Amino acid sequence: MSEELRELYQEVILDHSKRPRNYRTLENAGQAKGNNPLCGDKIAVFVSLEGGVVTDVSFQGAGCAISTASASMMTESLKGKTREEVESLFDAFHDLVTGKDPVGQGKGELGKLAVFAGVKEFPIRVKCATLPWHTLRAALDNQDEAVSTE
């Protein structure tokens, strides 16, 4: 990675960690809490689905710059996606931060999330970057349950 690119990546991550997007709760939404004891990150993720499509995602919590920026950018990436599209994007993101070459449908969808490529050089930070996504998956399951009881 070039020095310029590295700086750009750091700027985007810093910006999102200082001014997280979609930092709020959602009413009548699937929700789950996530916790990364290695770093002390705690997060709650809220997700609304309509007809199997994500209509809104938000989060709250306290964590390091990486987990906060990852959550913030995740919430900006998911609106309009189906559960399957969310899963393939998570797979691609997971490959990206663990240093594997992302494959499959999600690869082309990463967009701005590509700034997290630098995380692979800091294995302890991988859990920070993926915590919001694991929590989102639990929130989606929670939503599924809520829907199935209707």
Only segment of 8-16, 22-30, 36-44, 79-87 that touches Zn ion (CB under 5 A): 36-44
Helix, strand, coil percent content, the chain, rounded in steps of 5: 55, 20, 25
Stretch that binds Zn ion, among 9-17, 72-80, 123-131, 136-144 (CB under 5 A): 123-131
Q: Which of residues 61-100 bind Zn ion (CB under 5 A)?
A: 64, 67
Select from 136, 144, 141 the least CA-distant residue to 44.
Answer: 136
Which of 12, 39, 44, 117 touches Zn ion by CB under 5 A? 39
| Beta pairing partners, 45 | 32, 59
Q: Tell me: does residue 13 bind Zn ion (CB under 5 A).
A: no
Contact between 38 and 67 under an 8 Å Cβ cutoff? The reply is no
CA distance 20 to 71: 8
Closest separation in Å from C-beta 27 to Zn ion: 28
List 57, 113, 128, 139, residue binding Zn ion (CB under 5 A): 128
**Number of residues lying near Zn ion (CB under 5 A):** 5
Q: Could you tell me if 38 and 130 are in contact, meaning their C-beta atoms sit under 8 angstroms apart?
A: no
Does 22 engage in binding with Zn ion (CB under 5 A)?
A: no
Nearest residue (CB) to Zn ion, 117 versus 146: 117
Q: Minimum CB separation from Zn ion for residue 64, in Å?
A: 3
CA distance 17 to 87: 24
CB nearer Zn ion, residue 39 or residue 53: 39
Strands 41-50 and 30-36: antiparallel
Residues that bind Zn ion (CB under 5 A): 39, 41, 64, 67, 128
